[in-house]
Structures are given as C-alpha cells and as structure tokens.
Amino acid sequence: MKLSCIYVLNLLLNVCLATSINGKFEFSLGNLTKNAIRRTSFNLYQIGNYSTQDPYKTTTHLLDLDGNFKFDDLPINTGINETTYFVLSSSSLDYNLFPNRILIEFVQLENGTLQMNGFKNYFGREYFPSKDITHPDKLDQIAVEPYLTISVIQKAPFRAYFQIRNSGIMNDSGIVGSILNSRWKLAGVITVICVFAFPMFLDKIDPDTAIIMREEALKKKKEQYAN
C-alpha cells in the first residue's frame, strides 16, 4: 500500500517536474549513412540556476534514419515563473550543422503550463548573452513544436592532415619551383644578381668608366676611415 502510494506520487512528480525535448536532424544531402549517424551527437547542458546537486548534462544520438532524437526526464526548476535553461549543442564529424547551439528555456507559468522556448545562436557568437548585461543581443526564436530542427549546411571540408614532402628542387614546391612561382621572390633574386653582376658587365663594356667608379669607391672608403 505504502509502496504503491510512493509510486503514484513519484509518477505524479515526474509528470510535473520532468519533461522532454524532441529534435529532428533534417538531412538534405541524400540519405543518412550509418557512419554519419554514429558520428553525430547532441549534447545538452544545463546553465543558469539548477535545483539538482550538479547541473544536468547528457548526450544523445540519432534514434533512426529519419533523424529523430530526444532528451527525456529533464530536471525543471519548480515554482511559479521559475525558468530553467539548457544549451543544446549539435555536432557531426561529417557535416556542418545549423544551428549548432540552441538555448532552450522552460518557464513554469502561473496556470501550471510548462512553456518551452528555443533560441538559436548567431554564427561566430557561440555564447548566449547574459541577462545581466544592459543591451544583450536579441535572440532569434525558433520553433520548438513539434520538434527542434537541426539542418545541414554543407559537408565538412575534407582536410589532409599531412603533406608529402617533396625533395625535387625543380618541383612546384621545391626551392626553384617556389621562387619561380612567386613574383616577389623572383624580383628579389633578379635584383641581387644585377647588383653583383653590374660591375662585371661595366668592366667588359666600358673599362674607363669602371676604373673611375672603382677609384671613386676607394676614395669614399678612405674618407670614411679618415673620419
């Protein structure tokens, strides 16, 4: 008798205090593969005030090939006008997702209804503004019924994490190749060659001027040392 009372009470409390979030991953780039499903996850973090000992945190994965996912039994702060905040962060190894963060707000209304609101983040501004600041960003509200929608922007760009080192000097990435490929490097090399080669050319073309120039240079040097 006592046990069943506790059970019923527990059930009632759960109905009142716990709730769930439904989400759907709308995949527009063909069919979801098993690999993509396995490498896509949804993390939920409780922020702000919490009634439990530690802020709630959980991870969930896609439930089916249609992209459904769900968070159940969330701890909600009790009391009229009490709010509970969660941040839903979505990640995939294979795709860039949007919104990648969603702020979820639960408000316990006076008539007993638990209202759920969702706000998406702006790209590049991953943290949601604190209510304590004077002019916080106005958040874009998104639909939460029948589910939160996460969509795909694009396939995550493939990155090669290593590059084969090339030893041939004539190759594009070799020493000569890299100089020939860069206008500035090429200009530098030509300038250096001209500076060194000019006196020699002058010697061949106009020996008299070369002699005069050399004497001038010598004179200048002597003056320098004399000072």
Ligand X SMILES: *[C@@H]1O[C@H](CO)[C@@H](O)[C@H](O)[C@H]1NC(C)=O
Name the residues that contact ligand X, by CB under 6 A.
30-31, 48-49, 80-81, 83, 109-111, 113, 164, 166, 168, 171-172
**Of the two residues 49 and 181, which places its CB atom closer to ligand X in the complex?**
49
Q: For ligand X, which is the closer residue by CB, 127 or 201?
A: 127
CB of 53 to ligand X, least distance (A): 16
Residue 32 to residue 41: CA distance in whole angstroms = 14
Beta carbon of residue 32, minimum distance to ligand X (angstroms, whole number): 9
Closer of 9 and 80 to ligand X (Cβ): 80
Contact at 8 Å (CB) between 69 and 24?
A: yes
- Residue with nearest beta carbon to ligand X: 48
We find the least distance from the C-beta atom of residue 30 to ligand X, in angstroms, to be: 4
Nearer to ligand X, 116 or 148 (CB): 116
Q: Which is nearer to ligand X, 14 or 166 (CB)?
A: 166
CB of 211 to ligand X, least distance (A): 48
Residue 8 CB, shortest distance to ligand X, in Å, is 22
